[in-house]
A and B are shown apart, each in its own frame.
Chain A
Amino acid sequence: MSASRYDCIVIGAGHNGLTCAAYLARAGRRVLVLEAAERPGGAAGTREFAPGFRVSGCAHLLHLMPGWLLAELRLASHGLRMAAERMPTLALSGADALRIPMDPDSAAQDLEAPDAHAFREYAATMKRLGGALRPLLEAVPPRLGSRAWRDRLTLLGLGAKLRLLGRADLRELLRIAGMCVQDLLDEHFENPLLKGALAFDAVLGTNLGPRSPGSVFTLLYRLAAGGGTGASLAQPVGGLGALTEALAQAARAAGAELRFAAPVARMVVAEDAAAGVILESGERLEADCVVSSADPRTTFLRLLGAEHLDAGFVRRVTHLRTLGMTAKLHLALESLPRFTALAGAAPTGRLVIAPSPRAVEQAFNDAKYGRFSAAPLLEVIVPTAVDPGLAPAGRHVLSAVVQYAPYRVAGGWEEQRERFLDTILQTLEAHAPGLRESVRAAELLTPQDIEAQFRISGGHWHHAELALDQFFMVRPLAGAAQYRAPLRGLFLCGAGCHPGGGVMGLAGHNAARQILARAA
């Protein structure tokens, strides 16, 4: 094999890998992106799960990627169009529906007093706190004890931003940051449907219940990442795969080379530095640096290998909390599902089935002890309601994020899969009578399926649980929190890095900044 030489090899063509590659290529680096699958996307891709029926395979809504990033990479000119923007969230419970206000000012029209009043205050405070934390997400985490001016400047900037919050907000932030979301919601609201939907937002994609400490942190994170309100939900035309296709175009346009069906077997280490990769085909590719968008466990233990790392570091990698708790359901439907609570309206928004915080906690209790939730919680969208092209004419697809589905379920997923699917369909049928009749094909992805199909060790869509102990300067872990591995020439740019997963792209963007700063 002839050895080719690149400045950077990026492993994985998910949104973070591609974002990183695009920024590196724009800065003039010779970049090669290697993707194991046939197409770009990773966990932000579109898949055909039944003949003619396509759906966003893992993530299915776009609400965290910053507008400036979309603009800088000119994704619109690379083909990205939105089928729906500012999608509303509707909390459903049987025949009842409650529209969750998008911002403080719309509280009055969606909620009854006294919740309307309480929501205005709550949402305004959370928006300010989320806004203050926002710069945290965009920053490359500083190193502790570092004397570098950049690290000091970052800390100073974050401190200043928090100081600007003022005494009352800062005090509130300190008070609630480690709290459980149930207590916070109980302080403000009465309507169980409202509280259920907000509690659901706090625990979605995590291993937490509403009574778990730290569940306000994950809610604040979601608000900070979503720009303060979490209201900017959007659905690209063609599913999230269209976003990653546009990112791939942007990377190519900037000069990056992309190769698909090219799974990496392991990294090449020369003179204690990452020097390239060897593909499963045996082909060897050389580069000055290797950037991995794979999860930290895969990157360090499988692609690099413990022998190139210190034993204490390896132990900490194995202690990362990386097990997923969330499943994904795709249904191919004969007709548009009719949700009782929507009273005939098309399901064009985000539907949340989490009737009360108590229901969320009970669903969590099952999972805590290794069972799937007997009454699962769902985030449902019907993508074809706004983007008919995803299914054959007149037919529809339904996409649901399902909480909670433990990585290891009692009895094993082989045995429990059909029962879990049946349980979810029962819940859906209760809210949309006739839906079961209309199901033509169903695909349920458990965390183990997500692990196998998307090559995410543990099947967690954030690669590693988002919690205070795995955040910012210790994400994914101390010694690798600045997108830099302990080994020279190896960088991380995936969801396992700060600021984490969700289709945000900031990990990829920040990693590129770090790599370019090193060379400068």
Chain B
Amino acid sequence: MLIETEPHYRQPLLRTPFHERMRAFSQVDSFIPWSGYSTVDVFSTVEQEYFAIRNGASLYDLTPMVKYAITGPDATRFLDRLVTRSIAKLAAGRVAYAVWCDDAGRLIDDGTVFRLAEQEYRLCTGERQLDWLLDSSIGFDVRIAEVTAEIAALALQGPCSCWILKALDLEGIETLAPFEHRLFTLPDRAAGAGMAMMVSRTGFTGDLGYELWVDPADAERLWDALMEAGRIRTIRPVGSRALNIARLEAGFLLPNVDFVSSAHTLRNGTARSPLELGLGWCVDFRKGHFTGRRALLEEHGRAPARRLVGLDIEGTKPAHNALLYADRGGRREIGSVTSAAWSPTCKRNIALAMLAAPHFETGRQVWAEIYLNRELTWERRIVRARVVDRPFFAPSRRRATPPGDF
């Protein structure tokens, strides 16, 4: 569905089917690359967009998310050997967050697995994985095809998201439970021919929200319908920066920020295991063999050396890239911050950080070294921080079915 009007060297980044609509809405013309596509960093101001996610409704263009169609008689067995959690247990019509590792049990990437039918899946990931998927398919009767450009995807997130879809007459949308997906028809009031779309109750915000998957030819029609229906609920397109604050509040990891894929690490000891990243809950040692299982099982039997945890930091200044210490004097270095933000909703200064044992235990106090730029005069602060449980923000509306009307 890509229409290339210019040679690639003039237009190195691909455009999603929502590009023209997003460009029209953009006030600051701030586009950034994502998986070979041009995508929006910020439309107007990060604050406005953030509050649309938490207090109204937001649209985020997910199209660059890499999508693979995985089908064939061994599709379930293939995925169960690929990812660390059980796919056999995933019912058709449901979605699961999953991670996959190399032989050494180091994380390659994370993503979501959609079970569309008995032996039919869609795998969505941040980065391209075809080489690893093909390696993993040796010995399995499975077909793997990249379908990224064949599906336009839009995240509709925020407390008013269900209300908007109901306003668009998506019949039965309020019965869609978290991590479910289903086919819906968006009725066309004028013409009569409705638009087919898949809706999943998933997202990267930790809030009530949906992801909508349509034919790229229908993309602009969908955008227009949502913007129109959501107008009185202050719907607003959002960029990656606002989303980044929301995902941090929800405690979600961002590849290349909170971990580096073991396919890309060059230095010894910088690749991370799911256990170190606090993803032990999605490692199922009882389901049978998967790549990295033996290495992870061995690691599981040892005392953990480090762990990614949440931090609640004194003050209001985000602790970007801060080094962490066991002592106020800053002599015993014990880790560093991977993501940090002031959380406008929690009114807390939050961060994700990798901490060495035993400092990662919940409740422990550590010290963060923060650098402040005061009109090019740099100041160094060492502030108190406490290890806390994730997520930082988990409203009950994200799970309520049917969702409330906001």
Taking CB atoms, residues of chain B closer than 8 Å to A307 are 77, 81, 139-140, 288-289
Nearest residue, chain B, Cβ from A272: B289
A311 touches B289 (CB 8 A): no
What is the predominant secondary structure among interface residues of chain A facing chain B? helix
A311 touches B103 (CB 8 A): yes
Minimum Cβ distance to chain B for residue A222 (Å)? 34
Alpha-carbon distance A310/B102, docked complex (angstroms): 8
Nearest residue, chain B, Cβ from A313: B103
A305 touches B139 (CB 8 A): yes
Minimum Cβ distance to chain A for residue B129 (Å)? 11
Minimum Cβ distance to chain A for residue B291 (Å)? 4
Alpha-carbon distance A314/B291, docked complex (angstroms): 10
With known contacts A272-B294, A486-B294, A311–B140 Cβ distance under 8 A? no
Nearest residue, chain B, Cβ from A305: B139
Taking CB atoms, residues of chain A closer than 8 Å to B103 are 310-313, 479
- Whether, in the assembled complex, B135 has its beta carbon less than 8 Å from a beta carbon of chain A, the answer is yes
Taking CB atoms, residues of chain A closer than 8 Å to B139 are 301, 305-307, 314
- Whether, in the assembled complex, B292 has its beta carbon less than 8 Å from a beta carbon of chain A, the answer is yes
Taking CB atoms, residues of chain B closer than 8 Å to A309 are 289
Among A272, A311, A312, A318, the one with the most B-chain Cβ atoms within 10 Å of its Cβ is: A311
- Whether, in the assembled complex, B132 has its beta carbon less than 8 Å from a beta carbon of chain A, the answer is yes
Minimum Cβ distance to chain B for residue A202 (Å)? 34
Alpha-carbon distance A309/B293, docked complex (angstroms): 9
Alpha-carbon distance A272/B288, docked complex (angstroms): 8
What's the interface size class on A, roughly? 10 to 19
Taking CB atoms, residues of chain B closer than 8 Å to A313 are 103
List residues of A (295-323) whose CB comes within 8 Å of B's CBs. Answer: 301, 305-315, 318
With known contacts A306-B140, A318-B138, A311–B132 Cβ distance under 8 A? yes
Nearest residue, chain B, Cβ from A479: B103
- Whether, in the assembled complex, B173 has its beta carbon less than 8 Å from a beta carbon of chain A, the answer is no
Q: Which of B77, B136, B288 contacts A311 (CB 8 A)?
A: B136
Alpha-carbon distance A312/B288, docked complex (angstroms): 17
Alpha-carbon distance A301/B136, docked complex (angstroms): 13
A310 touches B140 (CB 8 A): no
Minimum Cβ distance to chain B for residue A36 (Å)? 22
Taking CB atoms, residues of chain A closer than 8 Å to B294 are 272, 310, 486
Taking CB atoms, residues of chain B closer than 8 Å to A272 are 289, 293-294
Q: Which of B77, B81, B82, B138 contacts A315 (CB 8 A)?
A: B138
Alpha-carbon distance A312/B103, docked complex (angstroms): 6
Interface string of B355-382 (1 = CB under 8 A from A): 0000000000000000000000000000
Interface string of A461-486 (1 = CB under 8 A from B): 00000000000000000010000001
With known contacts A307-B77, A307-B289, A314–B140 Cβ distance under 8 A? no
Nearest residue, chain B, Cβ from A306: B139
A310 touches B138 (CB 8 A): no
B77 touches A310 (CB 8 A): no
Interface size on B, residues (CB 8 A): 17
Interface string of B87-108 (1 = CB under 8 A from A): 0000000000000001100000
Interface string of B104-142 (1 = CB under 8 A from A): 000000000000000000000000000010011011100
List residues of A (441-495) whose CB comes within 8 Å of B's CBs. Answer: 479, 486
Nearest residue, chain B, Cβ from A317: B138
Interface string of B284-298 (1 = CB under 8 A from A): 000011011110000
Taking CB atoms, residues of chain A closer than 8 Å to B132 are 311
Alpha-carbon distance A305/B135, docked complex (angstroms): 14
Alpha-carbon distance A306/B293, docked complex (angstroms): 14
A312 touches B289 (CB 8 A): no
List residues of B (165-224) whose CB comes within 8 Å of A's CBs. Answer: none
Minimum Cβ distance to chain B for residue A141 (Å)? 20
Q: Which of B82, B135, B140, B293 contacts A312 (CB 8 A)?
A: B135
Minimum Cβ distance to chain A for residue B139 (Å)? 3
Alpha-carbon distance A321/B227, docked complex (angstroms): 59
Alpha-carbon distance A188/B370, docked complex (angstroms): 71
Minimum Cβ distance to chain B for residue A356 (Å)? 43
Taking CB atoms, residues of chain A closer than 8 Å to B292 are 310
Alpha-carbon distance A506/B82, docked complex (angstroms): 37
Nearest residue, chain B, Cβ from A308: B289
With known contacts A307-B77, A310-B294, A315–B289 Cβ distance under 8 A? no
Alpha-carbon distance A309/B288, docked complex (angstroms): 11
List residues of B (252-303) whose CB comes within 8 Å of A's CBs. Answer: 288-289, 291-294
Nearest residue, chain B, Cβ from A318: B138
Taking CB atoms, residues of chain A closer than 8 Å to B288 are 307
Among B102, B138, B292, B293, the one with the most A-chain Cβ atoms within 10 Å of its Cβ is: B138
Among B82, B139, B288, the one with the most A-chain Cβ atoms within 10 Å of its Cβ is: B139
Interface string of B61-98 (1 = CB under 8 A from A): 00000000000000001000110000000000000000
Taking CB atoms, residues of chain A closer than 8 Å to B140 are 306-307
Minimum Cβ distance to chain A for residue B265 (Å)? 15
Taking CB atoms, residues of chain A closer than 8 Å to B289 are 272, 307-309
Among B82, B132, B291, the one with the most A-chain Cβ atoms within 10 Å of its Cβ is: B291
A314 touches B135 (CB 8 A): yes
Nearest residue, chain A, Cβ from B77: A307
Taking CB atoms, residues of chain B closer than 8 Å to A312 are 102-103, 135, 291
Alpha-carbon distance A315/B134, docked complex (angstroms): 10
List residues of B (231-256) whose CB comes within 8 Å of A's CBs. Answer: none
Minimum Cβ distance to chain A for residue B77 (Å)? 6
Alpha-carbon distance A272/B81, docked complex (angstroms): 13
Among A308, A312, A313, the one with the most B-chain Cβ atoms within 10 Å of its Cβ is: A312
Interface string of B135-152 (1 = CB under 8 A from A): 110111000000000000
Alpha-carbon distance A125/B24, docked complex (angstroms): 81
Taking CB atoms, residues of chain A closer than 8 Å to B136 are 311
Alpha-carbon distance A306/B102, docked complex (angstroms): 15
Alpha-carbon distance A479/B138, docked complex (angstroms): 18
A-B contact pairs, 7 of them (CB 8 A): A272-B293, A305-B139, A310-B291, A312-B103, A314-B135, A314-B139, A486-B294
Apart from the given pairs A310-B103, A312-B103, A314-B139, 4 other A-B contacts in the complex at a CB distance below 8 Å:
A306-B140, A312-B135, A314-B135, A479-B103
The 9 A-B pairs with the shortest beta carbon distances in the complex, nearest first, are A306-B139, A310-B103, A311-B136, A312-B103, A310-B291, A315-B135, A311-B291, A311-B135, A314-B138
